[in-house]
Chains A and B, each alone.
Chain A
Amino acid sequence: MSTLHIVNKSPFERNALASCIGHLGNDDAVLLIEDAVVAARDGSTVAPLIREALTNGPVYVLAADLAARAIKREGVIAGMKLIDYRGFVELAAQHARTQSWL
């Protein structure tokens, strides 16, 4: 039973991202949306956390929310995958359930 973990708050505001990454199962994936996309930017203090998640499985980020915050594709941590809203829908369909870390 795989889970898509959806994180929508900045890791500089709440610790939802760290909690989420601490609970990942083998077949799980993480998706960053809304303010959580700031975690995708390489060089910040939370980048090691994302790299840890990448050793477990895929970490996706909603491209529209990156663009809205002027975070360029080149500045995103290597290995992360950018998706659009249709990609978000397909990820939700591919995993057995979704967990929103509000």
Chain B
Amino acid sequence: MRFGILVNEGPYTHQASDTAYRFAVAAIESGHEVFRVFFYHDGVNNGTRLSVPPRDDRNMQMLWSDLAAKQGVDLVICVAAAQRRGILDANEAKRHGKDGDNIAPGFRISGLGQLMEAAIEADRLVTFGD
């Protein structure tokens, strides 16, 4: 079965990104496909490569990036939510005259159409958030 996952919460709000990540791993381990993970609202904060959590804390961004690298999971960040929170790729940084970008490996910035597509293409869309 094909799953789409929506993450509406950052790594340090409650538990949603942890649960979403564990759900994605369990789905893949069970032989299902994760078509896309869409990060919306504060969920976009999962996709900055500049956060430096303490060494004994889990690093959600690294976990997501590893999932993208090893399993080919498509990680999409909502562009409007990202701009508000200062999550930029090289193109967005240039477009807005910023001096650097911070998007993490495996993540890409796109629009809500990607969430709609996930809802249409996936057999199930599961929402995690606040």
Do A and B make up one complex?
yes
Contact indicator A102/B129 (Cβ below 8 Å) = yes
Residue of B3, B29, B32, B126 touching A100 (CB-CB under 8 A)? B126
Select the stretch in B8-16, B49-57, B70-78, B106-114 that faces chain A: B8-16
Overall SS of chain B's interface? mixed
Residue of A65, A88, A97 touching B23 (CB-CB under 8 A)? A88
Residue of B22, B29, B124 touching A92 (CB-CB under 8 A)? B124
Closest-CB distance, A95 to chain B (whole angstroms): 8
Contact indicator B14/A35 (Cβ below 8 Å) = yes
Number of A-B contacts (CB under 8 A): 53
> Does B116 have its Cβ within 8 Å of any Cβ on chain A?
no
Q: How many B residues have CB within 8 A of the partner chain?
A: 23
Chain B, residue nearest A100 (CB): B127
Interface size class of A (residues with CB under 8 A): 10 to 19
1/0 per residue, CB under 8 A from A, across B26-40: the answer is 110110100000000
Q: Which of B61-80 contact A (CB under 8 A)?
A: none
Contact indicator A86/B26 (Cβ below 8 Å) = yes
Residue of B16, B23, B129, B130 touching A89 (CB-CB under 8 A)? B23
Residue of A34, A84, A98, A102 touching B19 (CB-CB under 8 A)? A34
> Does A90 have its Cβ within 8 Å of any Cβ on chain B?
yes
> Does A8 have its Cβ within 8 Å of any Cβ on chain B?
yes
Residues of chain B lying within 8 A (CB to CB) of residue A30: none
**Interface, chain A (partner B; CB < 8 A):** 6, 8, 33-35, 64-65, 84-86, 88-90, 92-93, 97-98, 100, 102
Assuming A35-B14, A86-B29, A88-B23, what are 4 further A-B pairs, CB within 8 angstroms?
A: A33-B19, A34-B14, A93-B32, A102-B8
**Interface, chain B (partner A; CB < 8 A):** 1, 3, 8, 14-16, 19, 22-23, 25-27, 29-30, 32, 123-130
5 contacts between A and B (CB under 8 A): A64-B22, A85-B22, A98-B125, A100-B126, A100-B128
